[in-house]
Amino acid sequence: MAPRRARAAASRYIPGRGAARLSRRIAIVEDDPGLRANYADVLRRQGYEVAAHADRASALQAFRSRLPDLAILDIGLGDEIDGGFTLCRELRGLSATLPIIFLTARDSEFDTVSGLRLGADDYLTKDASLPHLLARIAALFRRVDAQGSDAQAEDAIERGPLRIDLKRVTASWRGTSVDLTLTELWIVHALARHPGHVKNREQLMGEARMVVDDSTVTSHVKRIRRKFTSLDAGFDRIESVYGMGYRWREA
Amino acid sequence: MRLAGPRLAIPVKLALVASLLLLIPWAGFRYVRELERLLLRVQEQGLVSTARAVATALNDRPNVLLAGEVYSVPASFERDLRVANLEKPIVVDGRVSDWEQPGGEPRVESAPAIAGEPAFSYRYRIGRHGTGVYALFEVDDETVVLRDPERPELGASDHVQIAVVTADDEFLRFAIDAPGDGPISAWLVLEDGSRVPDNRIIGTWRTTATGFLVELRLPRTLIGPRLSFAVVDVDDPETRTLVGQLGTAGGTSTREQLGTVLVPSPEISELIRGLGRASSRIWVVDVNRRVLAHAGSLRRPAQPPPAEISTWDRIADAWIQPLTKRFLDEPREDFEDAPPGTYKLEGAEVVSALAGQEATRWRLTPDSRAVVLSASHPVYVGEQVRGAVLVEQTTNDVLAARNREFGKLFAAILGTSVLGALALLVFASRLSWRVHRLRDGVEQAIDRHGRVSGSVPGTGAGDEIGDLARSFAAILERQRQYTSYLEQVGNRLSHEIRTPVGVVRSSLDNLRLQPLPEEARVYIERADEGLRRLATILSRMSEATRLEPGLAATEREPYDMAAVLRGCVAGYRQSNPGREIRLAEPGGPVVVLGSPDLMAQLADKLVDNALGFATPGTPVTVGLARHGRAAALTVENQGPPLPEQMIGRLFESMVSIRPAAGEREPHLGLGLYIVRLIAAFHGGEASARDRDGGDGVIVTVSIPLHSGGVEDATGRAAAQA
């Protein structure tokens, strides 16, 4: 995913600041009409422009004529079991930087990993509450905005080689950007904010604004570790405290 | 599943059935017996034919049999004097050596000792050759008194008396004495007692160590139907009184005292010798059952050993013969037989033949060692029975043939039976092995939790067992699908329900953003609470099924179970204030191979269960111990015992024993199922039982210890942390 980020400057979409919020356009591709309408309503009420699609074909057609600023995709679309995955791949082909969130009923590890591999920025189950969803959308837009500006980050923490910029929604390890999803970033942030303090799973879930079970937290932590160790084989800062949770270890 | 009663394996049953094959040797034995009976009948017929043939050859040839008077005189066997036909000539020289030939055997006459006097006996031999009849007397006499020229009268010395009735019916008496050793001639004794020399009878006198010896030659023509000899002993040379007289018949004084003389014609002997066969004997008797001639022997000539002994024969000799001997009599040639000098035949078949009726007879030899078969046939002269032919043979030939056949048959049957039995055994063993393999395969295909984990062997075979295996495989496949369906149903349900839950949740969230009266917010909160519980149910339902594919991708690493449990228990104490959670652990690390995260998840489930079931105020004890090569994690709580019918199923998916009512938290019965999955991932297993005393439950998870060192584990853990 790192090369994709590098191409950000080449992106067609260059957001403006300030008035951007009013002009944000969010596409929802969801086959359940009730859910689709609810999401659309709440997003409109938040001031976003919403384009709702029921299936992959109509969504793709609309995307080809005009790309949204953010896409929320369901995986199962009507008869297409993996229609969301296909659409995600196609959307990535149209834009490398467009934020994509999977919002789906499917919560298996396999689906999560598949979705994130296809270039989604986050993967939520439909248990997620609307405020959580809105927080994520806002954070993702913030990240997009930050990439276009040169402004010095204010809301950032540094823990040794780790640097988390909440404003830009990015993390780096020894100066190298770590490609974390929003959920992962929030988990790392929650741990690193108070090094040495054990955060249990419930706390991490709260910080990451998600409603999942313990084992999902475990697999998130596993993925986070893997991402760090791929940059630095000696990475051992996230420590498991069995039966209690995790903590960030100072070097 | 064992059935009551005796349990016979297939090979045993087949062996029982195959034992019917033993009837084949028995039938063979019966067959050989039948064959023997037939052979004996054939032999009987053969003997009858032989007897008839011999009799036919003798029919109407009176001169070949005997002179006429013999037939009319009633036989008084004591007086019979048989004259054998000698093959070799006799030289009248006083030597015994030329008598050593068939028919020249000595016969003994003896008289018991009279008071004061020694016993008196002599041996004599009599035979015919050519035109002469020869006789030799060996007399035991301590004092030989020779003829004294001074006292020449008859009776004054040792002498031999001969009385004959000639063919012309003339009664003649002769006396032979001698003045010393040398050639002698006889005296013809006239009716008045006087004597004249007679040269028809000549001989030799010789004094021997034990007495004297007289050898005589009589012309054949002189001898008619009757003849008697007598030896007269005189011991005192002075008184010359007669001490003893011993003769072959009643006496020599009168015609009536004489015995019958039997001089078989040489033709009979020639004839039957020609007809005689190996191992059979032919007798010819006259009407008085006197033996006129016989030829042959009952004993079979010794079989020369075959020049070439085949391997088969050697095997037969070594293995078959001892077996056949157990069932069948071996023919033997050392049986007791009638002595060669037998003079009169007594058998019923002889009597029958002399009555004009041919007959056969079976008899045992006196020592019961052999069976003799005899056939008789009358001999006719004109219309009158003048004799009989008796042919005898032992059944040894037939027995030998029978034994030989039985041996061959037995060997063949034994060979085929052994081969057949072996083939059956091999077949049955293979069949049994296949059934066993199928049984084991089916038993192992389903583990004790009812999951289909293997495949059924032998489904490729084309026979009934193959059909059985295939149908088992089909049943197992259906079972597997059903189990899989049961395990997936939670996941599917949660998946299907999640979307409508999302609708409800988003609707509520939308609603909350609307301006609502305060009293309406209460209902939104309640709906929210219900939704939260629903979401918990959904995540728990899919937890187990989500875990399984995750397990396959999880790497196993050595870690210290004790450390994980310490952390977990600390966490439980923190999150369950007011509950007592004890930890009993052995000193030192307990290293196992697996995933510490999963172990923590397992402990979560067990402790959560234990806390849920524990009687309020009682502690929950988490224990860790080493048992041999395994680590045993136990979680123990006081409380209600396990329901008996559930014990075997506790660790299955969606089995719960919690009371449904009064629970805030939903329970789907997936906790122990997850425990089982994680235990299996660690190569171990989980079990639950009541505490001793039944006032609680102990769940035990035993996991094999990692063989690698602690250093390895801690090293890896450090690197990972």
Give the span between the Cα atoms of A78 and A105, in whole angstroms. Answer: 13
Alpha-carbon gap: A46 to the closest alpha carbon of chain B (Å)? 10
Token reading at B618: 């009682």
What is the pLDDT at residue B621?
92
What's the DSSP call for residue B705? B
Alpha-carbon gap: A126 to the closest alpha carbon of chain B (Å)? 5
- Measured between its terminal Cα atoms, the distance across chain A in Å is 28
Query: DSSP secondary structure string, B416-465?
Result: HHHHHHHHHHHHHHHHHHHHHHHHHHHHHHB-TTS-B-S--TTTT--SHH
Q: Write the residue in B501, B547, B571 that is nearest to A243 by C-beta.
A: B571
**CB-based contact (8 Å) between B675 and chain A?**
no
Alpha-carbon gap: A214 to the closest alpha carbon of chain B (Å)? 9
Using one digit for the tens of pLDDT, what is the confidence trace for B257-271? 777 777 666 677 777
Asked if A127 and B502 come within 8 Å (Cβ–Cβ), the reply is yes
Sign, CA torsion B677/B678/B684/B688: negative
Q: Which residue has the tokens 């998130």?
A: A220
Alpha-carbon gap: A86 to the closest alpha carbon of chain B (Å)? 20
A100 band by pLDDT with thresholds 50, 70 and 90: very high
Domain spans, chain A: 2-8+17-148, 156-248
What is the pLDDT at residue A10?
32
Give the span between the Cα atoms of B692 and B246, in whole angstroms. Answer: 121
Q: Is the per-residue pLDDT at A157 higher than 50?
A: yes
**CB-based contact (8 Å) between B573 and chain A?**
no
Q: Write the residue in B572, B719, B720 that is nearest to A243 by C-beta.
A: B572
Q: Report the range of poorest mean pLDDT among B376-380, B444-448, B512-516.
A: B444-448
- For B377, list phi and psi in degrees, rounded to 5: -150, 135
Using one digit for the tens of pLDDT, what is the confidence trace for B126-167? 888 888 889 998 888 888 888 887 777 777 788 888 888 887
Identify the H or E element spanning A21: helix A20-23
Asked if A127 and B501 come within 8 Å (Cβ–Cβ), the reply is yes
Mean pLDDT of all residues in B351-366: 86
**CB-based contact (8 Å) between B540 and chain A?**
yes
Measured CA to CA in angstroms, residue B38 lies from B364, B374, B404 at distances of 19, 17, 15
A vs B: CB pairs below 8 A: 119
Of A223, A200, A86, A205, residue with least CA distance to B553:
A223
Asked if B499 and A245 come within 8 Å (Cβ–Cβ), the reply is no
Alpha-carbon gap: B539 to the closest alpha carbon of chain A (Å)? 7
**Which residue, among A31, A75, A127, would best test binding to B if mutated, counting the most B CBs under 10 Å from its CB?**
A127
Mean pLDDT of all residues in A130-155: 77
Q: Is the per-residue pLDDT at A107 higher than 60?
A: yes
Residue of B nearest to A226 (CA): B720
How much of chain B exceeds pLDDT 90, in percent?
Answer: 5
Using one digit for the tens of pLDDT, what is the confidence trace for A194-230? 888 888 877 887 777 766 666 678 888 888 998 899 8
Residue of A nearest to B545 (CA): A108
Q: Does residue B21 sit in helix, strand or coil?
A: helix
The number of residues in chain A equals: 251
Please check whether residue B127 is in contact with residue B134, taking contact to mean a CB–CB distance below 8 angstroms. yes
Give the span between the Cα atoms of B507 and A197, in whole angstroms. Answer: 38
What dotted CATH number matches B554-720? 3.30.565.10
- Measured between its terminal Cα atoms, the distance across chain B in Å is 52
Torsion of CA B108, B114, B117, B118, to 10 degrees: 30
What is the pLDDT at residue A89?
92
Give the span between the Cα atoms of B203 and A116, in whole angstroms. Answer: 151
Token reading at A245: 């949770």
Q: Is the per-residue pLDDT at B330 higher than 80?
A: no
How much of chain A exceeds pLDDT 70, in percent?
Answer: 86
Question: Residue A159 forms beta bridges with which residues?
Answer: A162
Give the span between the Cα atoms of B34 and B27, in whole angstroms. Answer: 10
Measured CA to CA in angstroms, residue B406 lies from A61, B33, B305, B314, B320 at distances of 102, 9, 20, 16, 9
Which residues, 6 or more positions from B270, have their beta carbon under 8 angstroms from its beta carbon? none
Q: Is the per-residue pLDDT at A28 higher than 60?
A: yes
Q: Is the per-residue pLDDT at A11 higher than 60?
A: no
What residues of chain B lie within 8 A of the CB of A212, using their CB? 539
Q: Is the per-residue pLDDT at A180 higher than 50?
A: yes
Which residues, 6 or more positions from B324, have their beta carbon under 8 angstroms from its beta carbon? B403, B406, B407, B410
Q: Which residue has the tokens 């029982």?
A: B16
Mean pLDDT of all residues in B697-703: 91
What is the pLDDT at residue B624?
92
What residues of chain A lie within 8 A of the CB of B604, using their CB? 214, 243
What is the pLDDT at residue B305?
62
Instruction: Output B172 or B664, whichever has higher pLDDT.
Output: B172
CB within 8 Å of chain B, chain A residues 31-50: 32, 34-35, 38-39, 41-42, 45
**Which residue, among A30, A242, A246, A247, would best test binding to B if mutated, counting the most B CBs under 10 Å from its CB?**
A242
What is the pLDDT at residue A50?
93
Q: Write the residue in A110, A129, A239 that is nearest to B505 by C-beta.
A: A129
Mean pLDDT of all residues in B234-255: 75
B596-613 vs B671-681: helix axis angle to the nearest 10?
150
Q: How many helices (H) and strands (E) does chain B have?
A: 14, 25
Mean pLDDT of all residues in A138-157: 73
Indicate whether this complex's ipTM tops 0.90: no
**CB-based contact (8 Å) between A155 and chain B?**
no
What is the pLDDT at residue B449?
61
What is the pLDDT at residue A214?
63
Alpha-carbon gap: A189 to the closest alpha carbon of chain B (Å)? 18
**CB-based contact (8 Å) between B510 and chain A?**
yes
What is the pLDDT at residue B703?
92
What's the distance, CA B174 to chain centroid?
Answer: 76
Please check whether residue B445 is in contact with residue B20, taking contact to mean a CB–CB distance below 8 angstroms. no
Please check whether residue B512 is in contact with residue B526, taking contact to mean a CB–CB distance below 8 angstroms. no
Give the span between the Cα atoms of B237 and B315, in whole angstroms. Answer: 78
Using one digit for the tens of pLDDT, what is the confidence trace for B560-614? 999 889 888 888 888 888 888 999 988 888 899 988 888 888 998 889 888 888 8
**CB-based contact (8 Å) between A23 and chain B?**
no
**CB-based contact (8 Å) between B597 and chain A?**
yes
Q: Is the per-residue pLDDT at A14 higher than 50?
A: no
Mean pLDDT of all residues in B305-326: 69
Question: Residue A119 forms beta bridges with which residues?
Answer: none
Pairing of strands A100-104, A122-125: parallel
Residue of B nearest to A200 (CA): B571
Q: Is the per-residue pLDDT at A73 higher than 90?
A: yes
CB within 8 Å of chain A, chain B residues 443-502: 491, 494-496, 498-499, 501-502
Token reading at B112: 């018991």
What is the pLDDT at residue B711?
45
Which residues, 6 or more positions from B428, have their beta carbon under 8 angstroms from its beta carbon? B10, B11, B14, B15
Alpha-carbon gap: B536 to the closest alpha carbon of chain A (Å)? 8
Query: Considering only the top CATH level, what class is A2-8+17-148?
Result: alpha beta
Question: Residue A171 forms beta bridges with which residues?
Answer: A164, A178
Sign, CA torsion B311/B316/B322/B323: positive
Mean pLDDT of all residues in B284-293: 79
**CB-based contact (8 Å) between B533 and chain A?**
no
Q: What is the rounded average pLDDT for all residues in chain B?
A: 79
What dotted CATH number matches A156-248? 1.10.10.10
Q: What angle do CA A66, A103, A168 make, to 5 degrees?
A: 70
Question: Residue B627 forms beta bridges with which residues?
Answer: B630
What residues of chain B lie within 8 A of the CB of A127, using their CB? 498, 501-502, 505, 535, 538-539
Which residues, 6 or more positions from B8, have their beta carbon under 8 angstroms from its beta carbon? B16
- For B314, list phi and psi in degrees, rounded to 5: -65, -45
Asked if B597 and A200 come within 8 Å (Cβ–Cβ), the reply is no
**Which residue, among B488, B509, B566, would best test binding to A if mutated, counting the most A CBs under 10 Å from its CB?**
B509
Asked if B569 and A42 come within 8 Å (Cβ–Cβ), the reply is no
Which residues, 6 or more positions from B721, have their beta carbon under 8 angstroms from its beta carbon? A236, A239, A240, A249
Alpha-carbon gap: A195 to the closest alpha carbon of chain B (Å)? 15
Question: Residue B392 forms beta bridges with which residues?
Answer: B281, B374
Asked if A243 and B604 come within 8 Å (Cβ–Cβ), the reply is yes
What residues of chain A lie within 8 A of the CB of B574, using their CB? 244
Give the span between the Cα atoms of B492 and B90, in whole angstroms. Answer: 133
Give the span between the Cα atoms of B469 and B461, in whole angstroms. Answer: 9
Domain spans, chain B: 68-263, 554-720
Specify the CATH architecture of the domain B68-263: Sandwich (2.60)
The number of residues in chain B equals: 721
Mean pLDDT of all residues in B365-374: 84
